[in-house]
């Protein structure tokens, strides 16, 4: 299989598995927004690297006869996170825009206030915290969605380094 065919195959599997990861994130987001006292949202969020590693190993075993290099595993993981972030951003935008625009901003502002002592120990004064909480309320749904999208892609890049290491398997 040449390079372009293997890249097409990798992207196709990453799209499918990105949809699975996005579904996990959407359910986690809904648990967090609708049942904030429940720990299920956090548990699903923290399951992200395990889901990606599970799907990476399935791709490796099903499509690549059980062998994948670190570089290909890294590319697969990164693409999976990007596709999941795109789907999740669409779901978040629809939720914020049409369903409940203020509860997310209120929850984030309350978190900033709740961790005020921790932020002060880091050198951030109270006026900076109030300004950041005020800034959150001024963001449009598209800006909030883009903020979360970039955060998910950045965290996905970092997690890809780890998941690729756990999913790779060299030919002996």
Which residues of the chain carry a pLDDT beneath 70? 101, 112, 115-116, 171-172
Q: Where are the domains of the chain?
A: 3-167
The pLDDT assigned to 77 comes to: 96
Two tokens at 149?
């999208």
Question: Tens digit of pLDDT for each residue in 123-140?
Answer: 777 777 777 777 877 888
Nearest one of 149, 152, 114 to 133, comparing CA atoms: 114
The pLDDT assigned to 57 comes to: 93
Please state the φ and ψ torsions of residue 66, each to the nearest 5 degrees: 85, 10
Q: Could you give the residue ranges of the DSSP H alpha helices within the chain?
A: 3-34, 40-46, 48-63, 70-94, 101-114, 116-121, 126-138, 141-167
Does residue 140 sit in helix, strand or coil? coil
For residues 152 and 84, the answer to whether their CB atoms sit within 8 Å is yes
Please report where in the chains the tokens 């972030």 appear, as a residue: 85
């Amino acid at each position: 299989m040449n390079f372009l065919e293997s890249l097409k195959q990798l992207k196709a599997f990453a799209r499918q598995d990105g949809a699975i990861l996005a579904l996990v994130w959407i359910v986690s987001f809904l648990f967090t927004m609708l049942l904030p006292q429940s720990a299920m949202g956090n548990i699903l969020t923290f399951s992200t690297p395990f889901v990606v590693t599970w799907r990476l190993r399935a791709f490796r075993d099903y499509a690549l006869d059980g062998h994948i290099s670190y570089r290909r595993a890294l590319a697969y993981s990164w693409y999976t996170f990007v596709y999941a972030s795109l789907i999740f951003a669409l779901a978040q935008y629809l939720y914020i825009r049409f369903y409940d625009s203020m509860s997310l901003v209120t929850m984030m502002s309350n978190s900033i206030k709740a961790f005020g002592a921790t932020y002060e120990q880091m050198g951030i004064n109270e006026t900076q915290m109030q300004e950041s909480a005020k800034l959150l309320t001024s963001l449009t749904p598209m800006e909030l969605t883009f903020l979360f999208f970039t955060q998910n892609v950045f965290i996905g890049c970092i997690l890809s380094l780890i998941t690729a290491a756990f999913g790779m398997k060299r030919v002996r």
